[in-house]
Amino acid sequence: MCIRNMARKGQAGMVLISLIGLLYAAPVAHASLLDRVKDIYQLPGHVEQIQKDYEATKQELADQKDKLAEAVKQSQEIEDRLLRQNEDLKKDNAQLQERLKAMEQIARDKDQRNRKILYMVITAAALVVGYFLLGRVFRLIVWRRQKRGLR
């Protein structure tokens, strides 16, 4: 009998605690047990939304990765094209340098030829002038000798 009494007292205490719990208003700031249960049942929806967001982010990342790979490919193509252009310009520059050297050599040869011609003309003119002067001096000498011989 003692055990039954204790069981009844325990049951009565539980009922009393339950009634107090139901009658006692929970503070507004705390979620009730019902809200927690609702949240637990809504978790699959939240998980699905998180999974959708994850998939969308994953897709955006893949798109960005593809765009980046395309940008890298384009920049590599541009770099290759610019390197080829640089090599072509180096070859053109070398050819132009050779042409410039050849033209400078032609100009030096022309100047040297013109100097030789000028020296030849000056020498010829000096020879002609010298011939006339020498002829005059020779005539003067001959004329003086003849004048002395006549005296």
Structure confidence by residue, pLDDT tens digits, 12-37? 767 667 767 666 655 554 557 777 66
The yes-or-no verdict on residue 149 having pLDDT over 90 is no
Q: Mean pLDDT across the stretch 124-129?
A: 96
Q: How many CA atoms lie within 13 A of 150 on its CB side?
A: 6
pLDDT digits (tens, 9 = 90+) for 2-13: 666 666 666 776
Q: Locate tokens 């998980």: which residue?
A: 47
pLDDT score, position 21: 66
Q: How far apart are CA 76 and CA 63, in angstroms?
A: 20
Residue scoring higher pLDDT (151 or 81): 81
**Per the structure block, which two tokens stand in for 11?**
């049951």
Exposure class string for 99-121: b at 16+ Cβ within 10 A, else e: eeeeeeeeeeeeeeeeeeeeeee
> Any idea which residue has 């002829």 for tokens?
135
